[in-house]
Amino acid sequence: MRSGINGDRLWARLMAMAEIGATPEGGSCRQTLSDADEAGRALFLDWCAARRYQRRRDRIGNLFLRRAGGDAEAAPVLIGSHLDTQPTGGRFDGVLGVLAGLEVLETLDELAVETDRPIDLCVWTNEEGCRFQPAMMGSGVACGVLDMETVLAARDHGGTMLADEIARHGYDGEPLPQLADAACYIELHIEQGPILEAEGKTIGVVTGGQGIRWYEISVVGEESHAGPVPMALRKDPVPVLMHLIGLVQAIGHIDEDARCTVGRIELSPGAINVVPGRADMTVDLRHPDAAVLETMHRRFIDGLETLRRGHPDIDLQGRQIWHSPVVAFDDTLVRLVRESAAARSLPFRDIVSGAGHDAFNLARRVPTTMIFVPCRDGISHNPREYATPADVTAGANVLLDVVCALTCGDR
């Protein structure tokens, strides 16, 4: 099939969704299970209302829209992404995959195409992992990667428990998350990096994804007055924190594919004239090679132990809170993405995802791949995040082609 989606409609909806939780800088803030997140879902469902797709939700808040196929018993093709954002998020991360998925369903409706099997459009809960950890929570629970009771106990920085937000929005009475039989999963997303734009490519054929490890670190000393207490007599966690940051940066240069990030640092009590009693930080390690990521992990854990022994007056604790293994996507689906890009004369290249996505969890259960389109200057998780209308449309058309190749037989 070489028909196309309605690019103008897709773009208008992307801009309308961006107004929910709009930030002064031009981005969006719809953190998981916030009122803005729920308002975004409500707008999405308003757009779906006229189509009468079958709807269902589960207890973690995942939302599914089904377009029926000729064989109601056949395993569905899954497409989709997420609608939650970072606190200073952009207008395309996640939302593109959801709204392009809706465009695929509506295009099939408007062309009166009856598919051989159902197509499910998935909206996953808490992909970002910024308000509640870990990330990719909804897909993780549905795929059996994460434990439901454990994630329900997660709390945000204000102390609100995820289970309470689930109940507040009425998801607590829904069925437990479970991924039923599915034929495959395809997710369209912005690249969130600079490679496609730098090389003039419109389509990224995603062959897999980096492994990711997240850690929470606490460094506990003793609060004291900033004036009377000599430097040598302080139990100050900040010097240990500085060594930790140096350790992370050194690990990040193990090779050119390594990625290491200190994402959050908090000092307590946070007063200008008080030696902090506690420092907390997060660490993110990534690599596309599982063996190298394991080496990075060991270097980090060993480095923590060395610092612990070297500072006996400081209580240094660290724990890994999440591990997303290295992912290899399905060869057949990858080939279908390449074939669509070539048939539409869209410049493309193979690429490995540097960011984590719900597709990583789905790949552990069903054949999976992703389609990337460029984002300007490689910027994402930022109000400046931008993809052009032409690239957004091109990516959605490739998604349409792959879905049709999987569901339309010889038509």
**2: in domain:** no
Task: Choose the final residue of a domain: 324, 354, 372.
Answer: 324
**275: in domain:** yes
Starting from the edge strand earliest in sequence, which strands make up the sheet with 278-287, in order? 259-268, 278-287, 211-220, 315-324
| Statement to judge: residues 127 and 34 lie in one domain | yes
Which pLDDT does position 411 carry in this prediction?
A: 43
The number of domains in the chain is: 2
Residue with tokens 């969890």: 361
Q: Residues 2-22: what's their mean pLDDT? A: 96
Consecutive H or E run containing 361: helix 358-362
Q: Residues 167-181: what's their mean pLDDT? A: 95
pLDDT tens digits, one per residue of 245-280: 999 999 999 999 999 999 999 999 999 999 999 999
CB 55 within 8 A of CB 47: no
User: pLDDT class for 97, splitting at 50, 70, 90?
Assistant: very high
pLDDT tens digits, one per residue of 106-165: 999 999 999 999 999 999 999 999 999 999 999 999 999 999 999 999 999 999 999 999
Q: Residues 220-227: what's their mean pLDDT? A: 97
Which pLDDT does position 385 carry in this prediction?
A: 98
- Dihedral sign for Cα atoms in the order 383, 389, 391, 394: positive
User: What stretches of 269-411 adopt beta strand conformation (E)?
Assistant: 274-275, 278-287, 315-324, 327-328, 348-353, 368-373
78/184 Cα distance (integer angstroms): 6
- pTM of the predicted model, to two decimals? 0.87
Q: What is the DSSP letter of 177?
A: P
Can you give the CATH number for the domain in which 111 is found? 3.40.630.10
| Statement to judge: residues 96 and 168 lie in one domain | yes
Which pLDDT does position 3 carry in this prediction?
A: 86
Domain carrying residue 262 = 211-324
**1: in domain:** no
User: pLDDT class for 1, splitting at 50, 70, 90?
Assistant: low
**Those residues with Cβ within 8 angstroms of residue 239's Cβ, 6 or more apart along the chain or in another chain:** none
| Statement to judge: residues 239 and 369 lie in one domain | no
What is the distance, to the nearest Å, from the Cα of residue 266 to the centroid of all Cα atoms in its chain? 24
Angle formed by the axes of helices 237-251 and 290-310, nearest 10° = 160
Rg of the Cα atoms in the chain: 23
CB 130 within 8 A of CB 34: no
Which pLDDT does position 48 carry in this prediction?
A: 96
- Residue 248, classed as helix, strand or coil, is helix
Which whole-number Å values give the CA distances from 13 to 17, 43, 64, in the listed order? 6, 9, 19
171/38 Cα distance (integer angstroms): 11
Give the residue ranges of DSSP H helices in 69-206.
Answer: 95-110, 137-142, 148-152, 162-168, 195-199
**331: in domain:** yes
- Give the 3-state DSSP-derived string for 96-119, with helices as H, strands as E and coil as C: HHHHHHHHHHHHHHHCCCCCCCCE
Q: Residues 370-386: what's their mean pLDDT? A: 97
269 preceded by a cis bond (ω within 30 of 0): yes
Q: Shortest CA distance to 260 belongs to which of 289, 237, 282, 291?
A: 282
**355: in domain:** yes
Report phi then psi at 159, rounded to 5.
95, -5
pLDDT tens digits, one per residue of 290-306: 999 999 999 999 999 99
366/301 Cα distance (integer angstroms): 33
pLDDT of 69 > 90? The answer is yes
Q: Parallel, antiparallel, or unpaired: how do β-strands 119-124 and 77-82 relate?
A: parallel
User: pLDDT class for 166, splitting at 50, 70, 90?
Assistant: very high
Report phi then psi at 332, rounded to 5.
-65, -45
| Statement to judge: residues 33 and 80 lie in one domain | yes
Q: Shortest CA distance to 220 belongs to which of 202, 194, 201, 241?
A: 241
Which pLDDT does position 337 carry in this prediction?
A: 98
**245: in domain:** yes
| Statement to judge: residues 95 and 228 lie in one domain | no
| Statement to judge: residues 192 and 151 lie in one domain | yes
**109: in domain:** yes
| Statement to judge: residues 179 and 299 lie in one domain | no
Task: Choose the final residue of a domain: 277, 294, 324.
Answer: 324
Q: Residues 355-368: what's their mean pLDDT? A: 95
| Statement to judge: residues 205 and 216 lie in one domain | no
59/38 Cα distance (integer angstroms): 15
Percent of the chain with pLDDT over 90: 96
Which whole-number Å values give the CA distances from 17 to 43, 84, 96, in the listed order? 7, 11, 10
| Statement to judge: residues 278 and 289 lie in one domain | yes
Task: Choose the final residue of a domain: 290, 324, 358.
Answer: 324
| Statement to judge: residues 298 and 331 lie in one domain | no
| Statement to judge: residues 65 and 180 lie in one domain | yes
Q: What is the mean pLDDT of the chain?
A: 96
pLDDT of 286 > 70? The answer is yes
Percent of the chain with pLDDT over 70: 99
pLDDT tens digits, one per residue of 317-326: 999 999 989 9
| Statement to judge: residues 340 and 202 lie in one domain | yes
pLDDT tens digits, one per residue of 36-54: 999 999 999 999 998 989 9
Can you give the CATH number for the domain in which 232 is found? 3.30.70.360
